[in-house]
Structure 1
Amino acid sequence: PDWPDAGAARSWLAAERANLLATERRARGQGRPGAAARLAYAMAGFLDEECHWVDAEAVLVTAVEHWTGTGERAALCRALLHLSAVHAHTARYPEAAESGDRALRIARATGDEEAEAEVLRTLGTLNWHVGDHQAALVLFQKSFAITAMSGDSLDRARLHNNMAVTLLFLGEYDRALEHFEKTLSGFTEAGDHAALGKTLNNIGDLYLRRGDLESSRRSFEESLTFLEHSGNRYDRATVRGSLADVLTESGDIAAALPLYQETLAEFRALADRKSQADTLIGLGEAYRKAGEPERAVRHFLDALDIARLIGAAHQEIQALRHLGQAHFAAGRLDSAGQDLEAALSLAERTHDVDEKARTESVLTDVRRAVGGASTAHTLPGLTFEPGGN
């Protein structure tokens, strides 16, 4: 077809997705694995962007098998790159790392700097998913060093956004904002409205962390205006969850709860487990602030189970911290101390500066309460005397 623009091509792919997938399966079934692999690669970007991750994984696995057997390294490298990103979306982090590492070895062996830069960015995102923010930042910086020499402005804007988000988790808000400003400039120049929407969501998160609820909400609402027209299901659900977070912080629990429920249903439909954990934590916090601590604890425990199952350290820290707060509010000081000490230990290991500071603040309150409750009350590894901190 002669598509007039990218939007028309995307619409055609959406309309023909089932037929294209059937064609790929038929090609494999008729002994034409090369044709199936090429079709899989042609669809991969669209399937990933539109959140059809199960379909993308299915076709890319067979494409990787084919090109592994034929020794076509350039094709194999890019198929592995796509597969790594898809595995990360579905929280299959070990598989994502394996595919990404294979792609990186091929890119470097063949001198393909463009592929190397993109693999480094994908691996950086993977490290962010599992909570290793220092490692993520290093990988993004390496990717940017290559992209600054040979990449285009859109690639640089993406990396500025990646570095900014990582710096948020490292507690470096001013540096993050500098990168976000460069991101907005690059995406505005490129006319990429979906990317602009996602960046505005990230900037809203920065304002939320700083306690500027009004600016945060404005940023989230502006983000949603972009993403309602040009974003995908994941993007829109993410911003709705962000809006629910700022409503919770503002005390508007009645407005936050249905947004959280809608967001959770969407992430379950997408099989995005990490985002499910994020949303469950938000729901739990909303119920805690609404005076329903037991309901809050159930949501935090569900989030903790998911985070530990998939190896998402940041979500595990958050779930533990919120559990500690809920137990503290209910007067269960021992349970509060155990959860908060576990959260603090993990935050220190993963250099999650923001969560470390928040956990330490709550833990200080618990220690003071323990000191006032008994002459010698023990928390894991420590004994506190009355008035101790």
Structure 2
Amino acid sequence: MIKIDKNTKGVAMFDRAQWFLAGMSIAFSVHLSHPVTAVPVGKAVQIAQTNSSNAAPKVYEEAEKLEEQRTAEALRGAIVKYKEALKLYRKAGDRNREATTLTRIGVVYDNLEEKQKALEYYNQSLPLSREVGDRKQEAITLTSIGDVYSDLGKNPEALEYYNQALPLSRGVGDHKQEAITLNGIGQLYLDWGEQHKALEYYNQSLSIFQAVGDRRGEAYTLNNIGQVYSALGEKQKMLEYYSQSLPLFRNCSITAAWGI
């Protein structure tokens, strides 16, 4: 660096000022020779939303593929991707997909046994689903909240959410989700020692899973019915249902509980 003494400092400052003004002059000349067409603010926002809307599904799909791996590391990676998709859906103004993504993040946290984090995201999703009138997504989220409360041993709270979800699933004709919710209610009654009540809900669930051809759901429900008969001391019945469940588990290659 050149040291400037007090006698030359003014000259140096002048030179810098001249260079600055010369630079501004050149820049201004270039600007005039290459006029820029202004983009209306509304159009710019629309372009940004379109870009986000186009990018979000790809990122969401990447998150799904990571989630399918079911390892803790992959699930952590899925959360990062889902959160990236969430930002894009918010930027695009897509409230439906925002709600879906929030629930999906909750599911991953649930699978990582981080129940409070799961609830945090479910509770963000729920009012959004209601706001946009997406009854199917609302039912899924309500059931997911019920599942968390069931896992936490808060069965009365779980039943409250399941009972809110059930008529919504039935109303929109989402039979698979209806069966999942019925399964959850059956588990609550089994926990309460009300085996016959549990059987009532499990049998409803089983019929639906069989009707829609969901072999994975059918396998879990047959297994759950086997547990009921085990609790009742009916060992032959228990073996009968476990024996039906086992080949379905093998065929489906189930390694983890079903997601949404």
TM-score, normalised to structure 1, is 0.48
Matched, 1:274 2:250: no
State the Cα distance separating 1:104 from its structure 2 match: 2.0
Q: Distance in 1 between matches of 2:69 and 2:219?
A: 15
- Using a 3 Å threshold, how does the CA distance of structure 1 residues 85 and 249 change in structure 2: closer, same or farther? farther
Structure 2 equivalent of residue 304 of structure 1: none
Residues 1-389 of structure 1 correspond to what in structure 2 (within 5 A)? 73-85=52-64, 87-109=66-88, 110-111=91-92, 112-275=94-257
What RMSD in Å do the two structures reach over aligned CA positions? 2.5
CA distance in 2: counterparts of 1:269 and 1:73, whole angstroms: 39
Contact kept in structure 2, 1:127 and 1:133, CA below 8 Å: yes
Provide the C-alpha distance between the structure 2 equivalents of 1:221 and 1:175, rounded to a whole number of angstroms: 23
SS at match of 1:115: helix
Select the structure of larger CA radius of gyration.
2
Using the TM superposition, name which of 134-143 and 144-153 deviates more.
144-153
TM-score (norm 2): 0.70
> Contact between 1:227 and 1:236, CA under 8 Å: does it hold in 2?
yes
Give CA deviations for 1:348-380 in whole Å, capped at 9, x if unaligned: xxxxxxxxxxxxxxxxxxxxxxxxxxxxxxxxx
CA separation of 1:258/1:80 partners in 2, compared to 1, >3 Å: closer, same or farther? farther
Structure 2 distance, partners of 1:261, 1:233, is 14
Deviation, structure 1 residue 223? 1.0
1:173–1:206 Cα contact (<8 Å) kept: yes
The Cα offsets for residues 30-84 of structure 1, whole Å up to 9 and x where unpaired, read as: xxxxxxxxxxxxxxxxxxxxxxxxxxxxxxxxxxxxxxxxxx6534432443453
Look up the SS of the partner of 1:131 in the other structure. coil
Contact 1:81 1:100 in 2 (8 A): no
- 2: CA distance between counterparts of 1:132 and 1:84? 18
Q: How far apart, in 1, do the equivalents of 2:68 and 2:243 lie? A: 21
Structure 1 alignment gaps of length 5 or more: 1-71, 277-389
- Tell me if the contact between 2:209 and 2:215 (Cα under 8 Å) persists in the aligned partners: no
What's the CA shift for 1:127? Answer: 1.8
- Taking the aligned partners of 1:272 and 1:76, their CA distance within structure 2 comes to 31
Number of corresponding residues: 206
CA contact (8 A) 1:78 1:115 kept: no
1:84 is aligned with what amino acid? A
Partner AA of 2:118 in structure 1: A
Q: Would the alpha carbon gap of residues 264 and 73 (structure 1) be closer, same or farther in structure 2, given more than 3 Å must change? A: farther
C-alpha deviation, 1:191, in angstroms: 2.0
Identity score, percent: 20
Unaligned ranges ≥5, structure 2: 1-50
Deviation at 1:190, TM superposition (A): 0.9
Change (3 A) 1:236 1:89: farther
Write the distance in 2 (CA, Å) between the matches of 1:165 and 1:154. Answer: 17
Matched AA of 1:266: L
Residue by residue over 1:267-322, the C-alpha shift from the partner in whole angstroms, topping out at 9 and shown as x without a partner, is 2332321359xxxxxxxxxxxxxxxxxxxxxxxxxxxxxxxxxxxxxxxxxxxxxx
- The Cα of 1:233 is off from its aligned counterpart by 1.3
